[in-house]
Amino acid sequence: MVTSTHETSHRIFQDHPEVLTPIFEALGMPSPVKAEIELMTPDVTELKPLERRVDTVLKVEPSDGESFLLAVEAQTRKASDKGVNWPYYVAYLRAKFGLPVLLVAVCRNRTTAAWAAGPFECRVGPWASQVTRPFVLGPDSVPEITDEAVVAREPALATFSAIVHSESRDIDAILHVLARGMRSFDKPTAKYWAELLEVGLEDTPARETWRELEKMVISYFPGRGTVWEETYYEGKAKGEAEGKAKGEAEGRAKGEAEGKAQGVLRVLEVRGLIVSDDARARVTACMDLARLDDWLDRAGTVARVEELFAGMPDEPRDERRPE
């Protein structure tokens, strides 16, 4: 079953090969940033049998040395079927592409990491006809990042490290360092890394810690169930609910507008943005439902409240709006 951790490791290895640095260093190879890395199909299914897919398959062409395939598997716990499936992946990819294969297991606790290192053997009596030894990226092989300067300089490694160490007793301190380091990024970059980390932490207790710290980073990324998405939909739902309730008593149009206005303010306030009296008055005075819908959508992404009104003409004056 594909999980958030699987998806995150899939993306981060494709988009940021510098995360492979511990592997290249262990193999005595030049930095991965000097290598050409190409995404390959992860499908290792034959014509008929069970579907089998590796999380990520990359073709690596080092600046010095022969090309090889990197098959990456995110493993959160021991699984008895991997002793059969992992050797199959290696053998199939080797036969299909004619290249040597390095199987990498990403583990976030030492017990799973020790198991994942193998070896996994196909043995008859004293004779092993096949032996599979994955390269493990886990708490003992991926360093903890505890320096904000490293976060700013190497965000991919810092984010990946936090995922790998998500079950460490020091994870809260690690996440605080990440949050402070990410504040030096421009907003699109901060959103990207904060979102990627939240998804990668999956269902660990560390995810809830990060959801609170993420407010420092300001992230909104639809479709992932993250803290900013929930804030956005909470505000939108609140606005629609209040609009419906008030609409029945005071007139649907007026009530809906007032409810949506409250939704806009709720999203801005939960995001920690400072709403001036003038901005609050402008939002609550607006009776234009289309404009309120636009504000509600933009409230989840603007960096400052003033950006909400950028490029928009002033509304007709309302008697409730102060002079």
Mean pLDDT by 10 residues, the chain (323 residues): 50 78 84 76 47 74 86 89 92 93 93 95 92 95 92 91 92 92 81 84 88 69 50 60 58 75 80 83 88 82 81 49 40
Classify each residue of 308-319 as buried b or exposed e, where b means 16 or more C-beta atoms within 10 Å of its C-beta: bbeeeeeeeeee
Give me the pLDDT at residue 304, please.
83
Question: According to the model, what pLDDT value does residue 226 have?
Answer: 54
CATH 3.40.1350 in the chain: give the residue spans.
4-137
Task: Report the C-alpha gap between 72 and 93 in whole angstroms.
Answer: 12
- The closest alpha carbon to 208, from 158, 150, 242, 166, belongs to 166
Q: What pLDDT does 132 receive?
A: 95
pLDDT (0 to 100) of residue 255: 75
Q: What pLDDT does 101 receive? A: 94
Predicted TM-score of the model (pTM): 0.61
CATH of domain 4-137: 3.40.1350
User: Is the four-CA dihedral 62, 43, 142, 224 of positive or negative sign?
Assistant: positive
